[in-house]
Structures are given as structure tokens and as C-alpha cells.
Structure 1
Amino acid sequence: MTEAPGLRERKRQRTHEAIQDAATRLFLESGFRAVGVDQIAAAAEVSKRTLFKYFPSKEDLVVGSFADHADEPARMVLARTAGTSPLDALREYFLEGLAQRDPITGLDDRPESLAFIAMVLETPSLQAKVLLYQANAEEALADALRQVEGDVETDTARLAACQIYAMLRALAEDNRRHLTEGLSAEQRYPDAVRSAERAFELLNGGLGELYG
């Protein structure tokens, strides 16, 4: 049974959320470059020193939400039920995300989510930070895949993780593109599911011998 977080941890989580919520609101209102760290600290009612304890850089205030999800595929592989292959676990994870309109799948058509993604894509320093998180996530997935059989070659697991993440990114990018072109998440959903099913079918054809 999971132990409930203590008072200190709950307070820490509330502070983390308050800072990130304030930053997101200010960035969406005024733009990433126009907002200073001092403004964010004031809006979150914390000191600048406290802010940097939670978020090492201004960019982390934006892409910290990516970090929260970065190791999800690795955790899905390690926590999969008996008899479920890694690829099947990841397929179920992504399809569930589509059904829930999880932003990580690109199928979130809330205006603030679309504006958030647009801000990231037009800011080079944010794109660089996202790439760093993605690299860390790929390595976490590679580590999880290495544990599947216990003796899978390091290079093989690494290449597999890169292929899986490239596919997940491509699916999410396709969904976001359709949403920005005018489709609603509801309209895009059936095709998003078909694309995901086809993508995992293709991936299983190449990696199925090891992880399918």
C-alpha cells in the first residue's frame, strides 16, 4: 500500500504547482521573453531564491511539465502485467492517453494547451530544453528495455528506445498539426487511434522478436 505523502512533501508540491501555474499564466499572457523571473516569483508569492530551488532555469518553468511525464514509457514497461509485452504495454498507454486527451499525445485541443505548444516551438531555448528531456526519457526507456530479458545488448535497447520515442513524437506531432489546422480533438480521435494502431503494428514488425 502506497504511503500518503507527509505534510512537508504536500507543502513542497503545492509550492511547486503554484510557481509553475503562475509562470504558465504569465508566459501565455505576455510571452516567454517578456516575463521576468522576478514577476513569476511575485505572482507565486515566493522568493526568487525559492523559485530557483524548484526550477533551475527560466526554461524549466515551461518545460518542467515535460519532465513530469518523461519517464512514463519506462515506467509502463517495468510495471506491465505478466504476459504483456513491452510494446503492448506502450500501445495501451498511448491509446489510453488519446482517450483521455492527454497533452503528451498531441490530442489536447484546449486553447491554452495549443498556445503553450506554439510558444515552445517558437522559442529556441525551450526547444533545446525539451530535446534534453527527451534524451533523458529515451535513456530511461532503454534502461527499462534492458531489464526485460536481462541480457539484451546495450546498443540494441538504446536503438529500440530511440525508435519508440521517434514514433511517439511523430504521432503526437501529427495530432497537433491536425488540431492547429482546425480539427477538434473529437474529430481527430478516430484517425489518431488508427494511426497509433498502425504505427505500433509497424514497430512490432521490426522489434517484435525482442519486445513484442
Structure 2
Amino acid sequence: MPKTPAATHPPEELGLRERKKLQTGRKLWTVAIGLFVERGFDQVSVAEIAAAAEVSKMTVFNYFPTKEDLVLLPMEKHTGEVAETVRDRPAGCSAVAAVRDQYLAALDAQDPASGLCDQQAVLDVLRLIRDTPALALRARAASVRAEELLAAELRTASGDGDDLTARLAAAQLLATRRTLVMANQRRMVAGEPAGSVLPEARADALRAFALVEHGLGDYCGG
């Protein structure tokens, strides 16, 4: 989910050069999103972004190699997060529990990756992706990549080399997470405050991951 450009370490741990690079990246991202929101993604050139940010066009490309990167690169840096969550889970913790707990923590933090974030910049990015086919297509490709990474991690973690089960599990876990995220995003875009939605979003997440953990059973078998 959309995130603003961020450093791996807190700003106080970075040197002057690294802080300046971080500030420049954030400025370029902020300027670009503002122009895209005002005029539309396809109507804004990289040269215009550079002029508005008072940098060279080459500087923009040094930070964001393509125009699409100006919207999606911060989000794509987190593509492997769920796979990393499974890899780094405590001993004895199931994959389902690890992904569930990581998602609940993101909800509590109102992290954009949970869909439960009402910051204006995040909402602007969501609308841009929704309304721009090229961005929507690339966002879907990032989701496919996240599923591939998770399946590979699950296959390794299981130790049995069962590729089909790993892929099925990855698909179920990420589809569950994606469904929850999209439900939250719809409510944020509609104008609901994140804080007021949080209790229901948590309850929905617990119910959704319980279905993954225990299966659908005789659902619709009536």
C-alpha cells in the first residue's frame, strides 16, 4: 500500500548526506503527487516536476527512474514485507499467525499498508492509482510479485518442497490481506476517520484470518 518515501533508519541515525538525499526524495515525491492530483498523471511531464521542485530533470531520474516510480516506488519497496514476516517469525509461530499479527500491528499503527490511513497524501495516491490504468496495472504486478516472494518463503519454511501447497497458502494469505486492505481503503476514500474504523477493522481481520486458519468447511453447503 502507498507509503511516502522513508529511510531505513531514523533521521537522527543518518549522516548529513543521507538526510539531504532523503529530504530531496520526499520533496520530489510531494511535488509530483501534488501536480498529478491537480492535473492528472498523464498530463504532467517529468520536466515539469523537475521545474516545480527546482532541480534538474536528471536529478528526478536519479531518484525515480520512471514517472510511474514517482507514485509507486515507495510502495514497491515494501513488496517483500509479508515474506519477510514469515521468514522472521518466532519459533513455533505458524505462517498464518505471523501474517495476521503483522497485519494487526499495521492496523494499530494506521500504517498505509493496512489500508487504514486517512492522511491526505495517501488518499491522493490511492485515487491516482485507481484512476490511472498504467499505475493500476503496475500495482497489480507488485501484488503478483509479493505473492511469488511469499510462496518461495513458505516453500522454504515448510521444508517439504511442496510447491503447490506453498503457492495455495501464499494466494490465500495475500488475498485475505488484500481484501481487508481494500475494504479499509474504500472507507478512507469515502471520508471515514481511521480511528473510528479501527475497532471494526480489527474484528474483521481476526475473523478473516480465522477463516484462513480453519478453512471454509461447509460454507454454502446448505
TM score, norm. by length of structure 2:
0.82
Q: Distance in 1 between matches of 2:84 and 2:57?
A: 33
Of 142, 153, 158, 1:144 maps to 153
Distance of aligned partners of 1:159 and 1:44 in 2 relative to their CA distance in 1, 3 Å threshold: farther
The amino acid that maps onto 1:139 is E
SS across alignment from 2:68: helix
> Displacement, 1:138?
1.1
SS across alignment from 1:69: coil
Of 190, 195, 198, 2:207 maps to 198
What is the percent sequence identity of the aligned residues? Answer: 42
Superposition CA RMSD, Å = 2.3
Partner of 2:220: none
Distance of aligned partners of 1:150 and 1:128 in 2 relative to their CA distance in 1, 3 Å threshold: same
Q: Distance in 2 between matches of 1:142 and 1:41?
A: 40
Of 148, 153, 165, 1:156 maps to 165
1:101 is the counterpart of 2:80 = no
SS across alignment from 1:162: helix
C-alpha deviations, 1:79-131, integer Å up to 9, x for none?
Answer: 11222222111111110111111111111112332222112101111101101
- Preserved contact between residue 71 and residue 137 of structure 1 (Cα < 8 Å): yes
- Preserved contact between residue 28 and residue 112 of structure 1 (Cα < 8 Å): no
TM score, norm. by length of structure 1:
0.85
Partner of 1:210: none
Bigger shift: residues 150-159 or 46-55? 46-55
Q: Distance in 2 between matches of 1:158 and 1:84?
A: 19
Q: Tell me, which stretches of 5 or more residues in structure 1 are unaligned?
A: 208-212
Partner of 2:40: 31
C-alpha deviations, 1:21-52, integer Å up to 9, x for none?
Answer: 33223223332122210022233444323322
Q: Tell me, which stretches of 5 or more residues in structure 2 are unaligned?
A: 1-8, 217-222
C-alpha deviations, 1:129-180, integer Å up to 9, x for none?
Answer: 1011111111111111112122231222122212211111110111122233
- Preserved contact between residue 28 and residue 115 of structure 1 (Cα < 8 Å): yes
The amino acid that maps onto 1:69 is H
Bigger shift: residues 150-159 or 12-21? 12-21
